[in-house]
Structure 1
Amino acid sequence: MSSTTATVGPSSSNELKKSKVKVAVVQASPIILDREATIEKVAKICKENGCFGAGAELVLFPEAFISWYPRGNTFGVGIYDVTDEGRDIFKRYWDSSVQVPGNAVDRLGQIAKENKLYLAIGVIEREENSGTLYCSILFFSPSGALLGKHRKLMPTAGEKLCWGYGDGSTIPVFDTPIGKFGGVICWENFMPMIRMAMYGKGVQIYLAPTADCSDAWLRSMRHIAFEGRCFLLTCNQFVKRSDYKEGVDYGQSFPSEDPNYVMCRGGSAIIGPRGEMLAGPNYEGEAVLFAELDLGDIIRSRIDFDPMGHYSRPDVFSLVVNERRNLNVTYVNSEQRGDETGEGNTDNNKDGFGLGADKSKAVKDGLKNLKI
């Protein structure tokens, strides 16, 4: 999917489609390493907290909610080796991840449709023919359709042991009847250029799921809302030692065996375009935070600062975003090769394709038209 601004629903216009939008952020713990049980917890939270009944039109779940943020885990990785136990934990982590498309995606779409809302949720994503995992956000519409995804560009610190790197092909902002929204994950929000990429696409509701519960994180979120003159939703997991099941090997030690020991204290919040707190932060337990956003406040806030308008200097500073998907292998099919059998003529290999001279032009023309 192209990461340019995608229109969802009525055709885009320069006017705000709705003046007010109700949103929710979910602060909770997953059922660790259990994809299906975690997805059903998503369904239960949406239903029991009355997200639709309360009028919420957009709901955000935390980073890596399906189905584990492996806080404190090294997966047995040393400088040049990995323990067998670490490999086993990683295999279980991979087994609990989400393949896109797949049954888990279908069920999440059904939850969005049942509750008639836009759903954004942090997942650990895998590809069919790869052992690499990605920290991603999946975005669903009220019709249940998967709108797209964002893969975290930069895993932080030990995350590099278990997650791959996203690329510029998944930095979407969706133009919907409730406004323009998109998401950036955890510390990649500290990268000034990805923020500018989001502002350039006109983001109005900036989603920032995270695993960071520090005071510094919240200060940064208020700054981003103030800088971008947009609403910002941030949410985190609330995890206690008891969320790790007794008798299950997670391949790590814990700071405390007290079941009430808090491993991640949350800190979820909803912030306005001048950095004002609209809901939260919550550091007390699992919760759902609601707020009504007046999208007109975005325009009101930009009279004195507009990061992509009167307070920008494109004659001095500009940003280029590479939105191509980066592939390890690109296959040229038989039609592009000009060879129906798929077996090149080896009589003349001077062009480097293993084809005769009469076919080399067809190959070159095909390569010119190839989208990479």
Structure 2
Amino acid sequence: MGRMIKDLVPAEIRGLSAYRPPEGVFEVRLDANESPFPLPHEVQTKVDLALSQVLSNRYPDPASRNLRGAFSGLFGCRPEEVLVGNGSDELISLILCTFRNTQDRSRPRMLIPVPTFAMYSIGAKAAGYSVVTVPLHRDLTLDRGAILSEIARTDPSVIFLSSPNNPTGSLFGRGDIDAILLAARGLVVVDEAYGDFSGEESWVSRIGNYENLAVLRTLSKVGAAAWRCGFLAANKSIIKEVNKVRPPFNVNAFTQAAAGAILEEFTGIRGQVTAVVRERVRLADLLRGCGIKVFPSRANFLFVQADDREKALWTFLQLHDIVVKFVAGNQVTGDALRITIGTRAQNDTLVEKVRAFFGKETGDETR
């Protein structure tokens, strides 16, 4: 890149690194928090029918009206309180693009607990925000006092709370989130990407209680990652402003058709969610039996540590055709691994190799 062009790139973006998933093909992929199951037959049948009716020569519905209606029917809100995006990532960017004004005309600020989803920080820096971080407690819960202090000190325009949190799997307390909503003058976004696995009522039911509450949901974790479909639920005034910066036709017609069919047949999806939660409990117990430290999780993954051998275990698993997510050291936990819940067979294969790793470490060469 020539010097003149490079100089046009803000320092905040030059300092970022592009996301790079592990290269290669792995027999067991437990790194991306996808569903391990294909869609149930009855859901797939309805998706196929919906896709067959899409006209490829026509633009999609720019307002995603049918999809917003299906979402609002499932979550008990109104269609005008919903915006649809090309995955939650697009909606995060639109939120950050919209709510950048500050009372004193200074640079806007975004607040997040850490560790958390990397796209909040990446999107904020790209949009010209200063990023304010507050470490989680050692038990991976919110440090309410520290967050409230930072709200008073920095007056953030936007606060993102991933609950259940990625990568830790921890579900943040309702009392903590209520306190943050009451203290903040800016927008508080509760990202429920993993909400289907939490067993808790969605914050969508409370968007009428707080004028500064917005909620993100996605279909990516429950069997529709390929379709890239996310939802923003908030009061009409928030939706109205974000909609002004939404690109036209941002959600393609095939995604609208497939996602609408999935939402209409969501009972079938819930059965798979239940299976993942059941496997989450079983896998956690098996890993603890291997000497792994497993943190409590309300998501479709486990956040674990391996006695300061996380990087070695991560490498060992890849050599045995299994990939999990390596979470590089952070100020709360240090290095860790994030393991997506797979099928029972995939989880058993993982545990077998974890046992082999620790057996090798102690001199037992059994594989």
TM-score above 0.5, yes or no: no
More helix by share: 2
TM-score, normalised with respect to structure 1:
0.28
Structure with larger Rg: 1
TM-score, normalised with respect to structure 2:
0.29
More strand by share: 1
